[in-house]
Chain A
Amino acid sequence: MDVRFKIGADGTSIDDSGLKYDINDFDAWAVEAALQLKEKAGQGEVVVLSLGPDSVAETIRKALSMGADKGVHLKTDKIPFDGFAIASALAAELKDGGYDLIFFGKMSPDSSNGIVGPIVAEMLGLPCVTAISKLDIADGKGTAKRELEGAQEIVEFPLPAVLTVDEGLNTARYPSLKGIMAAKKKPLEVKPAALGDKKVAVKKLELPPERAAGRIIGEGAAAVPDLIKALQTEAKVL
């Protein structure tokens, strides 16, 4: 699905009329990870917390229909850009929750900063492992795998902890019809988000310059010599 974004009239936000929001992949894997741990333990509770405008409620419902037990919606007018402000509001809500593990997606594809999870961990004083692609929990300790550029790290940490989820950890389940029906009856608490002062502000949004139109060199292997020539003389990359 190719989404074309339009910049809003204020020049600093996306015009989201006609856009449909959905849970992003990283967050769906985070929810899945929590559900799998609960199922394995045979007990426990999975709470889904999200922050944003009304559209967020639907995202929380989706997580509830996957199997989460209850939702908390910290309400804002818009989707804030400032990850520190978002983390402040989330940490205030999570502080007294007594959670064993707090999962985040490693980043939101909207603001694309990927900072909220580790900032929340610092605010709560909890150990944190980011961008995990494998996880084992046993005896109050965890072992996770992190994907690096061309390498991986095996990381150990004590619980409670904050983890952010990368691709590869699991495959998120689709909500079943039964799950969707059950989600309608699950509790969803709505309260205002305590964002605090914003420390960074979007001054302007713009669409990236289109790439200059390229050209089809030709068809089949016969076009290879012309491509080589173009790479050598025009692009100068060979």
Chain B
Amino acid sequence: MANIFAFAEARNGELRKVALEAVTAARKLADSTGGEVLALLVGAPGISAKAEQLAQHGADVVFVCEHEGFTQYNPEATAALAAEKIKGGGYRAAVFTTSAQGRDLAPRVAAKLGVSLVTDVIGVELAGDVLTVKHPMNIGKVIATVDIAATPAIIAIRPNTFTPAQNAKAGRVESVQPVGDPSASRVVVKELIQGGGGKLDLADAPVVIAGGRGLKAAENFKLVEDLADAFGNAAVGATRAVTDDGWRPHSDQIGQTGRLVSPDLYIAVGISGAVQHLAGMRTSRTIVAINKDKDAPIFKVADYGIVGDVFEVVPALTAAVREARRGH
């Protein structure tokens, strides 16, 4: 029997989808050995209302730490608390997420515990004493199978890989105290700037429409935005060439140095398919490419391709998607 720890990521008082993914992945591991899932949730007073959702996804116990100092992400105080909870709990593994917050938090916690960790985990298995994970490396061109013998094994799972599953458990809420004073952290988040009003983020969107140089000018991203709008559940991304030229913000860049996305549907508009771009989207479930060059490398990874002028094809596709969705 092995108990598993899960860190439930929240931002601005709301759970993020990756929190449910972490609990789901932890539940799977715990079930393979008959153990329990204990989740940690930190936030401003009131965050405990979110514990119920974690219980629904498989948390037996939810540790909740409410403090004004946790209103924004507080890396030092959160790491100190997570490390202390993990240290005392005899866990076989602790599950974090490979989000901006998780990438920051998980290594701090591992260092405090004196163990290593593996991030961007796309598969995990516990067999006997050994926890084995799958981890893409070398810009996604090699998959490593890594054994983590140390206890606890710290892993950070890749977002959109472990689909949140309902698996209701008691989710007994245990209120916990911070370690030290969270208001005394050296590193302080002064401000959280939220992105464009209510738009889906690339990491969370089931559909991603990405544009490349083939769009020829910044204003032509309107075509991509219109197509995203037609889907209703789509986010807009871009290639590095486009963000380097300032057509789109860097935060929209999908690829080796940018965001990793793995949506149900990825539509590449005027993107040739440089290997650095493919590194950020090749695990998407269905890939569609629209490009005027029939030899563009993007067609090698695309499930469906249309060879043609994006200025002709995309508006037609936008109209057809609107029509198809109206039929639903």
Contact = CB atoms under 8 A, between A and B. Distances in A.
A156 B304 contact: no
Query: Interface on chain A toward B: helix, strand, loop, or mixed SS?
Result: mixed
B275 A2 contact: yes
A83 B194 contact: no
B145 A199 contact: no
Query: Secondary structure at chain B's binding surface: helix, strand, loop or mixed?
Result: mixed
Given A109-B256, A118-B111, A151-B192, A216 B201 contact: no
A173 B281 CA distance: 29
B324 A128 contact: no
B115 A150 contact: no
B317 interface: yes
B111 to A, nearest CB: 3
B216 interface: no
Contacts of A4: 141
Contacts of A109: 138-139, 256
A153 B73 contact: yes
A148 B312 CA distance: 34
B119 A115 contact: yes
A214 B143 contact: no
A153 B282 contact: no
B28 to A, nearest CB: 20
Contact of B11 (A25, A110, A114, A151): A151
A189 to B, nearest CB: 26
B251 A224 contact: no
B116 A150 contact: no
Contact of B142 (A7, A82, A115): A7
Please classify how large the interface on chain B is, using the bins under 10, 10 to 19, 20 to 34, 35 or more.
35 or more
A2 B301 CA distance: 14
A99 interface: no
Given A203-B145, A205-B142, A113 B304 contact: no
Nearest to B196: A150
A215 B301 CA distance: 10
Contacts of B193: 151-154
Given A83-B117, A122-B111, A238-B325, A155 B187 contact: yes
Interface of B: 11, 16, 72-73, 75-76, 79, 99-101, 103-104, 106-108, 110-112, 115-120, 132, 135-150, 186-196, 199-204, 206-207, 243, 250-251, 253, 256-259, 264-265, 275, 282, 285-288, 294, 297, 299-309, 312-313, 315-317, 320-321, 324-325
21 contacts: A84-B110, A84-B116, A110-B137, A113-B117, A114-B119, A121-B111, A129-B187, A131-B103, A147-B250, A150-B196, A154-B190, A155-B190, A156-B190, A202-B146, A204-B144, A208-B141, A221-B316, A225-B320, A228-B321, A235-B285, A238-B321
Interface of A: 1-5, 7, 14, 25-26, 81-85, 87, 106, 109-119, 121-123, 127-131, 133, 143, 146-158, 166-168, 198-208, 211-212, 214-221, 223-225, 227-228, 230-232, 235, 237-238
